[in-house]
Each structure stands twice: as C-alpha cells, then as structure tokens.
Amino acid sequence: MVVLKSVRPAISCSSFGFDGDQLVPLHKVSFVNLTLPASLLSVRLSSRNNAKLSLVQATKESSTASTNDSAAVFSATNGKATNIVWYKSSVGKVHRQEVLQQKGCVIWITGLSGSGKSTLACALCQALYSRGKLAYILDGDNVRHGLNRDLSFKAEDRAENIRRIGEVAKLFADAGIICIASVLSPYRKDRDACRSLLPEGDFIEVFMNVPLQICEARDPKGLYKLARAGKINGFTGIDDPYEPPLNCELELPQKGNNCASPCEMAEIVISYLEEKGYLQA
C-alpha cells in the first residue's frame, strides 16, 4: 500500500491557483504520476474528505487525477495504450439482465480436438434458445476467421488467441448474454487468466474428458493424421501437451464405449445453470 501525503502537479493548473513547483494537498485537485511495481495491486489516495482511488489493474505507469469528491478520473497506461479513461454507462449489467431475464456468464468448453466441444456448444445454444434464453458461441476456429486472423499457432500467439477470446467473452457476459466459448485452450494458465476476468462463479469451465485415442479415431478435420505424418508441428495431444482442468465446474467424461449424446450433455450444463440461477434475472 502506498500512502501519499502531498503531490507535485505533473501539469500546470493555474486556473485552480496551482503551479508546477508547488506541493499540493490531496484534498485539492491535482495530477499524480505514479510508477508502480508489477506486484502492486492497489493504490489508495486519502485526504481529509476520505477521497479514495483503487486501481483495478496495476500498470507500469499511471496518471491519476484526484478530486475533492468521491468520483475520480483514472487515466492510465495499460499495455501499449496511454491516456485512456473508462467511461461507465448509466445502464449496467443488472439492467441488461433484467431485460433478458437471465444472468450473463461464460461457459468455457475445453478439451482435445475431436472431443466434441463445438458439437456441445451448438446443442447447448439450441437448448437455451428453445427456453427463450440468449446465448452466443465463440468458436475457436470461427474467431480465427476474423478477430484473430492475424495469429499463428505458435505458443505466444496461442496465448494471445485465448486472451482475446476471454476478453470478448467477458463483454458478452457483461451484456447479460450467456457466452459459450468452445476453445481447445490447452494450457491451465491461459484458462485461469480468462477466469480471473470475471466475477466469481461467472466462469463455468466444462471439460470434455474424452481420451486421445477416441479423439484421434474420430479426427473430424483430419488434423491428427497430418500431425502423425509430421505435416503439422505443435499439435495438441501429439507433440504439444494438453493440461486438463484441476477444478472445473463440470466434467463430461467418456462412459465406456459410448458417449452421452450432445443433447444429453447440453441438459447437464443447463441443469447447472438453473441450479446456480443463471436462467433468471
């Protein structure tokens, strides 16, 4: 925690009677330049009127304006973007959920290629539609046709692919929509990073626990055959690892030689949504 007693304005505030060489108490309007270590999670600005500011995300360098009321303007350096401000609408997530009569969330379906992720996503979307609920599918392949068309399958690009999908899924959930992300997403750290974007409970991880030999036997896209022939490098399950979830909300396993039908699996997910109250406002 960093406590600031007074600050030197970063810009001239002559209209307020300040200049760049004067120390200004925090109960007056001032601009603060902060260089923050990566480990710093929050900063609180306190003054005689108890004005406070909490940083949602630590950034390397932040520029913050504090005022003598409870509302503060936050202008930050976030990644490569500078001087950005979050504008909050008067219509929030709760209002949108009331209109839709459902709660926004992200259903993140993960598993090997050929495990049935996209099939489940489509069955689930159809089942929700039949109940009058609004859902949208973010399919891993579909997203690479547009938003992520500039990304390869190298490790760093795969991580960025998942990060972008996670951010878009978060926006859908904030809109009150049930977002179904059907993404291979082989690495736990990338899935956990997406989970951390949402409020607790709003990220529902569904693990398609289908053995590699069954996925390879299905091989709907012919990718396993190409990987075995050495024509695809870094293919998950062949020469790149898949890290199964350790604490997923739902696991849909293979049962002997038979697998539950897509509709049956969709009903399992819907039962979970009903139990957790996501199908009502």
**pLDDT single digits (tens) 140-158:** 999 999 999 999 998 899 9
Among 30-34, 79-83, 192-196, which stretch is predicted with the lowest mean pLDDT?
30-34
Residues 6+ apart with CB under 8 A from 116: 208, 210, 259, 262, 265
Mean local confidence (pLDDT), 219-230: 96
Domain with residue 136: its CATH number is: 3.40.50.300
Other CB atoms within 10 A of residue 190 CB: 21
Residue 18, in any domain of the structure: no
Weakest-pLDDT range from 72-76, 120-124, 168-172: 72-76
Give pLDDT, residue 49: 46
Domain count, the chain: 1
**Active-site annotation holder among 12, 113, 185, 261:** 185
Mean pLDDT of 246-262: 85
d(CA 45, CA 59): 16
Residue 105 has pLDDT above 80, yes or no: yes
Rounded to whole angstroms, the maximal C-alpha distance in the chain is 79
Identity of residue 128: L
Residue type, 23: L
Q: Is the pLDDT of residue 24 over 50?
A: no
Whether residue 99 is contained in a domain is answered as yes
202 within some domain: yes
Phi and psi angles of residue 65, each rounded to the nearest 5 degrees, phi first: -105, 125
Is residue 250 a part of any domain in this protein? Answer: yes
Confidence of residue 41 (pLDDT cuts 50, 70, 90): very low
User: What is the helix (H) or strand (E) element at residue 30, kind and residue range?
Assistant: strand 30-35
Lowest mean pLDDT among 55-64, 125-134, 203-212: 55-64
* Tokens encoding 125: 């979307």
Average pLDDT over every residue of 49-56: 44
Per-residue CA distances from 186 to 161, 170, 262 (Å): 12, 19, 22
Higher pLDDT pick, 223 / 82: 223
Sequence-distant (6+) residues with CB within 8 A of 47 are 25, 26, 27, 66, 68
- What are residue 92's phi and psi, to 5 degrees? -105, -175
* Domain assignment of residue 65, yes or no: no
Least confident of 35-44, 94-103, 269-278: 35-44
Q: Which pLDDT band, with edges at 50, 70 and 90, does 226 fall under?
A: very high
Q: What would the 3-class secondary structure string for 55-106 be?
A: CCCCCCEEEEEECCCCCCEEEEEECCEEEEECCCCCCCHHHHHHHHCCCCEE
Task: Say what the alpha-carbon torsion angle 214, 219, 225, 226 is, to the nearest 10 degrees.
Answer: -130
Q: Kindly report the backbone phi and psi dihedral angles of residue 81, in degrees, each rounded to the nearest multiple of 5, phi listed first.
A: -90, 140
Identify the band that residue 27 occupies on the pLDDT scale cut at 50, 70 and 90: very low
Residue 70 has pLDDT above 70, yes or no: no
- Residues of the chain with pLDDT > 90: what percent? 65
The bridge status of strand 61-66 relative to strand 73-78 is antiparallel
Residue 185 bears catalytic tag: yes
Q: Is residue 271 part of a domain?
A: yes
Written as six digits, the tokens of 6 are: 């007074």
- Cα–Cα distances (Å) from 148 to 142, 161, 193, in that order, read 9, 6, 18
Would you say residue 40 lies in a domain?
A: no
How far apart, in Å, are the Cα atoms of 42 and each of 2, 54, 101, 277? 8, 6, 35, 32
Residues spanned by the domain of 163: 93-211+243-276
Q: Which of these ranges, 10-19, 188-197, 227-236, 242-251, has the smallest mean pLDDT?
A: 10-19
- Does the structure show a pLDDT above 90 at 78? no
Q: What is the pLDDT of residue 241?
A: 95
Q: pLDDT at residue 71 above 80?
A: no
Q: What is the mean pLDDT of residues 88-99?
A: 96
